Amino acid sequence: MRAATIRDGSVVVEDHADPEPAKNEVLVRVRAAGLNGADIMQRAGRYPAPPGEPPDIPGLEMAGEVVAVGPGVQRFSEGDRVMAIVGGGGQGELCAVHERAAMPVPENMDWDSAGGFPEVFTTAHDALFTQAELRAGERLLVHGAAGGVGTAAVQLGSALGARVTATVRREEARPEVERLGATVIAPEGFEEHGPFDVILELVGAPNLAGNLRALGMQGRIAVIGIAAGAKGEINLAQLLAKRGRLHASMLRARPLEDKALAQRLVEKHVLPLVESGAVRVPVAETFPLDRVADAYERFTEGGKLGKIVLRMAH
């Protein structure tokens, strides 16, 4: 099979041996695979694939048809439409994944959307609901809301009854993020718009001081993205006075059972919202596999709303 391949700081297309489905795995003929920040970091050599994953094929999510099943598979059959989070290897024509890390693709969802759904929606759902325990009626602030996780978080927060405020740097992106369900504000002076019960941090440490000021009593800050910087000063007296909580996490390095649990929660709580049309995957642009290098460049340029998705031709 052909697959996106990391070679010396670049991403190219190379031939690889076809993966085979091991016990409890399904083999997926990939139709679409979303790009994520981790792919860009892996291209730069800063985010090696976890042990057991293809070391040189990037891609943390994909969607396609099951073309073969390994021994013991119970959840899916050949021909089923599935989408999944993977630890790597999503951006190839074929991808093997444990059946418990995969989800069915709703009938009303196209391949581009399905390929760009699993990573960002699972990340957003896990951060907002499992970690930060966001509840209906609470105020949510999403920093960096125009990206993949941001657009997912705005929709999930809004669909599940939270009142969502979002910071978006680029003015042109603001109307679309508003359509997704947020009150959009500029990043400058965001702390004047609090207090917030939950703050989803997708930008980085530069927002930390403002986040602490804008946090409400018993508020929670969930840190997912730190591209703008990892180190910042924290005032524990502020956190103490508000009885606040700060957590940080990422999906990629988690073991199978954690990823599987997260998928079950998304199946139960988010797929019905996809089926009803309450949430959707904003796709900024699609690229064929042959233009994977362009896709990565487009990802790093910024100024996009939603996902960059690779399409596989079969």
Q: How far is the CB of 256 from a copy of itself (least distance, A)?
A: 15
Q: How far is the CB of 244 from a copy of itself (least distance, A)?
A: 6
Residue 150 one-letter amino acid: G
Q: How far is the CB of 167 from a copy of itself (least distance, A)?
A: 17
β-strands 307-311, 94-98: how paired? unpaired
Return the number of the residue (120 or 184) whose C-beta is nearest a copy of itself: 120
Q: How far is the CB of 226 from a copy of itself (least distance, A)?
A: 5
Return the number of the residue (185 or 205) whose C-beta is nearest a copy of itself: 205
Q: What sign does the CA torsion over 244, 250, 251, 257 have? A: negative
**229 Cβ contact list (under 8 Å, min separation 6):** 204, 205, 206
Number of Cβ within a 10 Å radius of residue 204 = 18
Q: How far is the CB of 245 from a copy of itself (least distance, A)?
A: 4
Return the number of the residue (12 or 227) whose C-beta is nearest a copy of itself: 227
- CA gap 46, 56 in Å, rounded: 13
Q: What sign does the CA torsion over 49, 52, 58, 61 have? A: negative
**19 Cβ contact list (under 8 Å, min separation 6):** 1, 27, 54, 89, 92, 94, 95, 96
**42 Cβ contact list (under 8 Å, min separation 6):** 6, 48, 49, 58, 88
Using an 8 Å Cβ cutoff, are 210 and 192 in contact?
no
Return the number of the residue (12 or 241) whose C-beta is nearest a copy of itself: 241
Q: Which residues pair with 96 in a beta bridge?
A: 27
Return the number of the residue (33 or 120) whose C-beta is nearest a copy of itself: 120
Q: How far is the CB of 246 from a copy of itself (least distance, A)?
A: 5
Q: How far is the CB of 91 from a copy of itself (least distance, A)?
A: 23
What is the DSSP-derived secondary structure letter of residue 126?
I
Burial of 139 (0-12, 13-18, 19+ CB in 10 A): buried
What are φ and ψ of residue 145, in 5° steps? -80, -5
Return the number of the residue (146 or 224) whose C-beta is nearest a copy of itself: 224
Return the number of the residue (1 or 205) whose C-beta is nearest a copy of itself: 205
What is the DSSP-derived secondary structure letter of residue 221?
E
Q: How far is the CB of 227 from a copy of itself (least distance, A)?
A: 11
DSSP reduced 3-state for 88: coil
Binding site residues, a copy of itself, CB under 8 A = 204-205, 208, 223-224, 226, 230-241, 243-250, 253-254
Return the number of the residue (183 or 238) whose C-beta is nearest a copy of itself: 238
